[in-house]
Amino acid sequence: MWRPYTIGAAQKVRSLQTTEGLGDRLRLVAFAERQAFHAFHEATQRFTSAPQGLIEAWRSIAQDELRHESWLIARLLEMGQTIEAVPVSLNLYHSLAACEDPEKFAFYVADAEKRGKIGAERFAEVLATRDPQTAKIFAQIALEERSHIALVSQYFHSSKN
């Protein structure tokens, strides 16, 4: 499920000014996308009491997460970096898997997606002139995360967060 990533204690990421540091970020974000894929996929099976439209949306989002991961991994490999070079943490997956009901899952995942969107926007901005190819990937991911985040308000009231 997690191959070819190396699971372990999170390590300090190297400077973004280096190829290895950019690789660290690509790898971390790619693995977050993989964790999100599995969490969304499992949510469709665990939370059968959720509205059918929400379950269908989660199925679609799971596929988006896989697509995002594939873009990031392709770029990582183009840069001569390896996926398994640095350990990555399963904290996101464990947190999402611990959610006890569809509402808690929806709010927790929306919060994680917000953080991911902000990070992707920042990477796109910082890399715009230095690495436009990677910047474009992050910008597209940030754009798509917006619809993932908006989904929670279609099914749940924010006061229940």
**What tens digit of pLDDT does each residue of 39-53 get?**
999 999 999 999 999
Tell me the pLDDT of the chain averaged across its residues.
94
Burial class (CB in 10 A: 0-12, 13-18, 19+), 155: middle
Q: Which CATH architecture has domain 19-155?
A: Up-down Bundle (1.20)
Q: Which helix (H) or strand (E) holds 121?
A: helix 102-127
**What tens digit of pLDDT does each residue of 64-119 get?**
999 999 999 999 999 999 999 999 999 999 999 999 999 999 999 999 999 999 99
Token pair listed for 104: 């808690």
- pTM value? 0.93
Using left for φ > 0, alpha for ψ between -120 and 50, and beta otherwise, residue 80 falls in: left
